[in-house]
Amino acid sequence: MEELKLYTYIAVFGTFALYFAIAWWARAGSTSDFYVAGGGITPLQNGMAIGADWMSAASFISMAGMIAFMGYGGSVFLMGWTGGYVLLALLLAPYMRKHGKFTVPEFIFDRYYSKTARVVAVACLIIASLTYIIGQMKGVGVAFSRFLEVDYGIGLGIGMFVVWVYAVLGGMKGITYTQIAQYVVMIFAYTIPAVFISLQLTGNPIPQLGLGSTLADGSGVYLLDKLDMVVTDLGFKEYTTDNLGGTVNMFAYTISLMIGTAGLPHVIMRFFTVPSVQAARASAGYALVCIALLYTVAPAVGAMARLNLMNTIEPVAGQNLEYAERPQWFKDWEKTGLLKYEDKNGDGRIQYTADAKTNEMVKVDRDIMVLANPAIANLPNWVIALVAAGGLAAALSTAAGLLLAISSSISHDLMKGILTPDLSEKNELLAGRVVMTIAIIVSGYLGLNPPGFAAGTVALAFGLAASSIFPALMMGIFSKKMSGTAAVAGMCSGIGITMLYVFQHKGIMFIPGTSFLGDMGPNWFFGISPNAFGAVGALVNFIVAFAVLRVTGPAPAHIQAMVENMRIPGNVSAAHDH
């Protein structure tokens, strides 16, 4: 264990030192540097930065674990979180880049000539981003407490300090270059263990191919067939067909995640950092390459981790592992409370089944799968240390991007745009840094004392982005006539119905006991789970907006001319001060 700890310290603090060095080298001098990195990031660099920005602790730590236990149903995350980039590349990014502003609310303000619209957009952005950050901060705390065995709070404090240094100092410029480094750390940390495990199980070093190969044990059985057999024998649903509450729910869930992805402001604002419209289109492609490298490996990690877990517990059919002989990783995770065993039949062996009465693995937290995976597969200690550094890179890079989105929406949209329009550039920069510091402290506090609604936050963040921001942006570009009044009406009803649905099933502000319809399948609208409801919210947004447009009349001529101009890439200048 001592060797592991040493390696982990080297990996974690070595990468931190690297991030600091980059931040110092790329510190921001102007508001343009601070918000859009001076508009001079190349598409490949931007693609890597978007990858790091986008792939959070949830992608790195949780996703493969969710797939491991959901099987085919986990596909909603794979398709949803990548398909959104097609929408971004085709429907939003090039036009928003052409318009050439700093923030998403600013674009909405210009297009809908309405301060109300801007404030609604800022509110959505802050709620979506803050709820998202809480998850990152928790990820940092968990990674530190598990791997370096320091207190959760201290780990979180170290993480806050690291982000503060490079985000406040460097702004978008510092964050972008740091994120490039974090992407590299993250992708190695994710794929190296996957390659080892794929090689062990199937003899094929490429995990994407290994998942479709036969097992290396000489049986000639395909890995997925074996997995289907093992889990159905124990009463679980078949891995490759388990469909997450039905086709309608999966359909709505996938759409919600796709349009939610395309509507998340911290991702969209990345496209303001490249020099041209063509570069914005290319950036979306490179971003998806960088993301796909991890996302196509994740299903292999999930399936192989599940199989390894099952094989550990029941090495030979009918011969379950004796609890006294459980491996070291089992003991380590028991200490964290994320893995629990209860000897129900008193035979001293571990039974893991789908039946709650006989199942003795009373708790197997999904989030431990990626982190425990290298240890389950007996990989060398340096690989485990690398995974720790990768998990931290994923959490920190996403937190930094979100903090920037929050600080720019407050300092640029609320202060400079609405409250104090005569703010000088120097003071706006200062305000941006102060706001960011406050946002770090608030999110650190929320990470330390997670509010009751933390568990429902993913639904909220994606629901808001899907039901309000994405439709507003898309109509703003593809419907010249769309007016401010109609768009605001659409946004408000989209958010309204999504929030109502989430709250009625999950509790008002997620307070337990206040849900008036209960969190249960039979009450769901067409069987659509609250997490998947953003798609319906977006549909309502579109319908209301076009209905109101018919009644109240189209946008003024100069706005229509602006939209026409947005559609043609010519005469693009770098994102400018104004």
Partner 1 sequence: MEENKETYWSENLRLIFICLTIWFIVSFGLGLLLVEPLNEIRLGGYKLGFWFAQQGSIYSFLGLIFWYGAKMNKLDKKYHAEG
Site residues (vs partner 1, CB under 8 A): 67, 72, 74-75, 78-79, 82-83, 85-86, 89-91, 94, 98, 208-209, 211-214, 222-225, 240-241, 247, 250-251, 254-255, 276-278, 281-282, 284-285, 288-289, 292, 295-296, 299, 564, 567-572
CB of 134 to partner 1, least distance (A): 28
Q: At closest approach, how far in Å is the CB of 428 from partner 1?
A: 27
DSSP structure class, residue 212: T
Question: In the numeric block, which tokens belong to residue 398?
Answer: 């996403």
Residue closer to partner 1, measured from CB, 167 or 187: 187
Residue 159 CB contacts under 8 Å (≥ 6 apart), including other chains: 137, 140, 141, 144, 392, 395, 396, 399
CA nearest neighbour of 4 among 392, 328, 305, 334? 328
- Helix (H) / strand (E) containing 340: strand 339-340
CB 147 within 8 A of CB 392: no
Single-letter amino acid, residue 169: L
In the complex with partner 1, the residue whose CB is nearer, 237 or 349, is 237
Residues 478, 479, 484: CA angle, nearest 5 degrees: 125
Q: Is the Cβ of residue 42 or residue 359 nearer to partner 1 in the bound state? A: 42
DSSP secondary structure of 293-360: HHHTTHHHHHHHHHHHHHHHH-SBTTBPPBGGG--HHHHHHHHHTSEE---SSSSSB----S-TTT--
* CA distances to 10, 305, 320 from 313, in Å: 33, 12, 6
For the CA atoms of 73, 75, 81, 84, the dihedral, rounded to the nearest 10 degrees, stands at -110
Could you tell me the smallest distance in angstroms from the CB atom of residue 406 to partner 1?
Answer: 28
The answer to whether 264 touches 473, Cβ cutoff 8 Å, is: no
Least CB distance to partner 1 at residue 278 (A): 6
Nearest distance from C-beta of residue 297 to partner 1, angstroms: 10
Q: How far is the CB of 325 from partner 1 (least distance, A)?
A: 31
Output 475 or 572, the one with its CB closest to partner 1.
Answer: 572
Beta carbon nearer to partner 1, 278 or 359: 278
Across the chain, how many H-helices and E-strands are there? 25, 2
Check the CA dihedral 201-206-208-209 and report its sign: negative
Residue type (1 letter), 540 = V
DSSP structure class, residue 314: -
Nearer to partner 1, 288 or 376 (CB): 288
Which of 58, 67 has the CB closer to partner 1? 67
Quick one: 289 or 418, whose CB is closer to partner 1?
Answer: 289
Pair of tokens at residue 125 = 């952005």
CB 572 within 8 A of CB 276: yes
Count the neighbouring beta carbons within 10 Å of the beta carbon of residue 354: 12
Nearer to partner 1, 277 or 370 (CB): 277
**Which is nearer to partner 1, 255 or 487 (by Cβ)?**
255
Please, what is the minimum distance in Å from the beta carbon of residue 22 to partner 1?
28
Sign of the torsion formed by the C-alpha atoms of 217, 190, 336 and 7: positive
CA nearest neighbour of 203 among 214, 190, 192, 191? 214
CB of 387 to partner 1, least distance (A): 22
